[in-house]
Amino acid sequence: MRSGARIALALGLGAASGTSLAALSCAQLSSVTPEASTITSAALAGPGSVAGVTTTVQFCRVQGTARPSQDSEIKFEVWLPAAAAWSGRFKQNGTGGYAGGTPYARLAQDIAGADGRVSMFYVRSKGDTEGARNELVKLLPTYKIRSMAEYSTLMSSSNLPELKPFIRSFVLLGVAISFLVVLLTMHTMVFERTRDIGVLRALGSSRLEVCWMILGETLVMVGLGVVFGLLGTCSVVAVLHRTSPTLQITIEGGWIVRAILLTIAGAIAGATYPALRAARNDPVDALAYE
């Protein structure tokens, strides 16, 4: 974020390519080429709804991408007030790491000179939420009033692209843990049941039947894990909805299906080696195993 701050300062206070930025209009800022960055857009915005928040003044909204190194890509925005309304100060807002995002509500406060003032209220409705919202819209026509369901859509991963690498990392971590847990569990089980597997082989069970037995037991274990996982997740979500009504947690059906499929894939991959090892056991050696 420090690189973004240097670029923002250059845009707001300095000059680029030998041209005074003070002499440029808002639209012309898109042609500015700061070091190691690209200005993707520059246009007047407000008053009204901007990036999901309500602004009360008009300003120049500059968007860009900074690449201070080959493996970095930092999205940034600069909201420039009118020259007559500028306080002469520069303020940077943002978050760090893979959870980085643009706090538009804070930007809207700062650009309007309303820093430290209340700009958002949460109203809890115990009855008809949509009806209460419609009544508030009639009473306060100049205010932006959203239901929590509508507001939560602004916090989705599609609107916060920085979350996608974070989510993918956790998905891969979950698959890896599933693989290792099943691998170790089934491998231990095969060792403990070597004599039982030898009896089955001696009675005529084929190697394929032994493999299917191990994989079937794995799928039963995964099924129980999925059921308990879903029950635990739903219970936690229900508790959070009761204790923190402003915290909206939406679990889409598509994510549940993908999670189950990834869990099954990781479990089958982890059970494959123990199943093949059990199928390759010689019946005589297995019966003599102590």
Residues 43-66: tens digit of each pLDDT: 888 787 787 777 878 889 998 888
Phi first, then psi: what are they for 194, rounded to 5°? -60, -45
* pLDDT of amino acid 189: 82
Q: Are residues 86 and 126 in the same domain?
A: no
**H or E element, residue 246:** none
pLDDT, tens digit (0-9, with 9 covering 90-100), for 239-288: 887 887 666 677 778 888 888 888 888 888 888 888 888 877 776 666 66
Q: Are residues 27 and 76 in the same domain?
A: yes
Q: Are residues 92 and 139 in the same domain?
A: no
Q: Are residues 264 and 148 in the same domain?
A: no
Q: Are residues 147 and 258 in the same domain?
A: no
Tokens 């520059």, located at residue: 42
Q: Are residues 23 and 100 in the same domain?
A: yes
Band the pLDDT of 97: cuts 50, 70, 90: low
pTM of the model: 0.47
Q: Are residues 273 and 246 in the same domain?
A: yes
Count structural domains, the chain: 3
Q: Are residues 225 and 141 in the same domain?
A: no
Band the pLDDT of 201: cuts 50, 70, 90: confident
Identify the domain containing residue 231 by its residue range: 163-287
Is the distance from CB of 8 to CB of 78 less than 8 angstroms? yes
* pLDDT of amino acid 148: 73
Q: Are residues 24 and 78 in the same domain?
A: yes
- Which of 154, 177, 210 is the last residue before a domain boundary? 154
How far apart are alpha carbons 8 and 22 in whole angstroms?
A: 14
pLDDT, tens digit (0-9, with 9 covering 90-100), for 147-199: 777 776 666 656 566 667 878 888 888 888 888 888 888 888 887 777 787 78
Is the distance from CB of 194 to CB of 286 less than 8 angstroms? yes
Task: Quote the mean pLDDT of the chain.
Answer: 77
Number of separate helices (H) and strands (E) present in the chain: 9, 7
How far apart are alpha carbons 133 and 50 in whole angstroms?
A: 21
C-alpha dihedral sign at 169, 174, 178, 180: positive
Q: Are residues 189 and 125 in the same domain?
A: no
Q: Is 7's pLDDT higher than 60?
A: no
Residue 176, token pair as written in the block: 């890896």
Nearest alpha-carbon partner for 74 in 146, 3, 166: 3
Is the distance from CB of 74 to CB of 51 less than 8 angstroms? no
Q: Are residues 104 and 132 in the same domain?
A: no
Q: Are residues 105 and 129 in the same domain?
A: no
DSSP letter (8 states) at residue 85: G
